[in-house]
Amino acid sequence: MGDWKTTDGLPRRRRHRALSPWREHLRDTFWFAPTAALVLVFVVWSAATAADDAILTALRDAGDEDAVSDLLGIAEDAKTVVTTISAAMMTFIGVVFSISLVAVQMAAGQFSPRVVRIFVRSRITKATFAVFLATFVQSLLVLTSYDSQRDPALVASIPLVQSVLTLILVGLSVVLFVMYVNSTLRLMRVAHVVDLITREALRVVANMPLGVSAEEPVGTGAGAGLGPETARFAHHGRAGVLRDVDIVRLVRMARQSGVVLRLVPRIGDFVVPGTPVFAVHGGPATKALRALSFQVSVGAERTFHQDLGLGLRQLSDIALRALSPAVNDPTTAVQAVDRIVQFLSSVAQRPLGALLHRDRRGTVRLVQPVPGWTELVDLGFTEIRGCAVASPQVTRRLLAGLDDLLGAVPEDRRAPLVRHRTLLTQAVERAVPEAADRAFALHPDRQGIG
């Protein structure tokens, strides 16, 4: 599966790595990393126990009881530290994450409830929680390895390597704790939040194959050869948001059946049982295509994996909350508009409307609908424009952003930008009675007001 990139006027095929839906779904969970860490700590503890037993056996075979006695003394000293760690670590985990959840709740209230997803997907958050739990479990396992026998000739276990491993985990926990606190504090900064959202949105754009414009039919141009529609497959699972589809398997299934599949709803649409999900083109529906329903993921909320419009939706939500009378923070709205303009600039030259996923021979096998240029512009500007009339800082930034986009897009994509600019100008002229204030509010400024 790949896409087509034009270089020097020649179409060339470029392969790109398809992201696994399972990988993305696991990133949206919080249980996987801690569970994997707990399993790993049992494996490491078993290896450390074997190393301790090997050291004790080697010293006894060499007849060096003095060394055994010295190791026993070191292990006893380490036991005090390990005991302290086991008693304090769980309390530390509870306090740290209670405070962090309060911080996340404050960020969600200030920006948007959708920013909680950033916390859940944070690698530092998961790594910190996983290492904290691993340290706690490791300390308990080490305590079970201590032998009550104090005679060097009779002692059966000296958990020296295990104790050292516990101390290493404590040091790693301290380092991760500092990084975690820094990450949590950054989550409360709007610039960091909008930057993370924009980077994820741009990653979706980077993983998109070539599409066809929303203005041209899917069956023409680059998408020619779909053939007539021969069958449709409906959704039979639970109701929810269409999160993503397994593109690799769908392309493989379509190639094996000699057909072209077309995804009917867009990623992010809410589907219920009976909603048509796939249309078959160019051939009869084979028995192999009955498994199409297993290649669809439906969940409670949208994800960035294949959702082109989710980034704009979140940035718009942040700007709208900032412009609400309860918050009244136009500077935050300007920062969101900055990123909306950045995102629209990144797709300004791309064909939109439908993505074409191809097999290894370059044949279109899956057509996936995505928002067109007009829809993306409306998503980015409509609601903000309606709430920004009373804030000259935001109107000035909107006008500057629209002007920048007008200079960057092809002629056939200027119409929605001109429409939004005209509507914003008319709204300000109606709402602001003083001519001087109107002139000030309608002066484009990339920083809003300095």
pLDDT in tens, 374-395: 999 999 999 999 999 989 999 9
- What is the mean predicted confidence (pLDDT) over 274-302? 87
Looking at residue 87, its pLDDT comes to: 83
pLDDT attached to residue 213: 63
Checking if the pLDDT of 214 tops 60, the result is no
Q: Evaluate if residue 11 carries a pLDDT over 90.
A: no
Region of poorest pLDDT, from 138-152, 209-223, 225-239:
209-223
pLDDT at 219 over 50: no
15-26 mean pLDDT: 59
pLDDT of residue 366: 92
pLDDT at 272 over 90: yes
**Across 115-126, average pLDDT:** 82
pLDDT at position 406, please? 95
Alpha-carbon distance 399 to 424, whole Å? 8
Give the per-residue pLDDT at 215.
54
pLDDT range class, residue 404, cuts 50, 70, 90: very high
Q: In this model, does residue 216 exceed pLDDT 60?
A: no
Confidence at residue 275, expressed as pLDDT on a 0 to 100 scale: 92
pLDDT category of residue 40 using cuts at 50, 70 and 90: very high
The stretch 107-135 carries a mean pLDDT of: 84
